[in-house]
Amino acid sequence: MDKLELVDLNQLVHDITNKCTSELMQKRETQILSRLKECGFGFKNEQEFKEFVKNKCKLKISGKLNELFVDNKLITKWWDTIDVDIKNNKVYAIAGNEPDNFND
């Protein structure tokens, strides 16, 4: 007879949430950088990008809604949320939506 391994569901949900959050953050960074490039902003290196963000960007967070402004102009917005649910022995994870494009 096979042994059944007991799984701490709270730990499982925590681990899934952390993994999804990490992957989502990496994906968002790539998507936001792409949006900035579409708006005509280019960066030679990571240091130049960090200086740009520090001096020109503002991130407004209202609940789960994120809005990115450059020089007070809305560049993109997105919903970020990680919701993990276990139903009928299946795990469901919802990870927000991709940033919108607000190019003029």
Show me where the domains of the chain are located: 9-94
Q: Residue 17: is its pLDDT beyond 90? A: no
Instruction: Note the pLDDT of residue 4.
Output: 47
* 52 pLDDT tier (thresholds 50, 70, 90): very high
Q: Among the residues of 9-80, which ranges form H helices?
A: 9-38, 46-56
* This prediction's pTM: 0.68
The more confidently predicted of residues 89 and 14 is 14
* 1 pLDDT tier (thresholds 50, 70, 90): very low
| pLDDT tens-digit map of 22-40 | 888 888 888 888 889 888 9
Mean pLDDT score, 51-64: 92
Q: By C-alpha distance, which of 5, 33, 34, 15 is closest to 82?
A: 15
Instruction: Note the pLDDT of residue 104.
Output: 42
| CB-based contact 98:32 (threshold 8 Å) | no
| CB-based contact 95:28 (threshold 8 Å) | no
Reduced to 3 states, what is the DSSP secondary structure of residue 69? Answer: strand
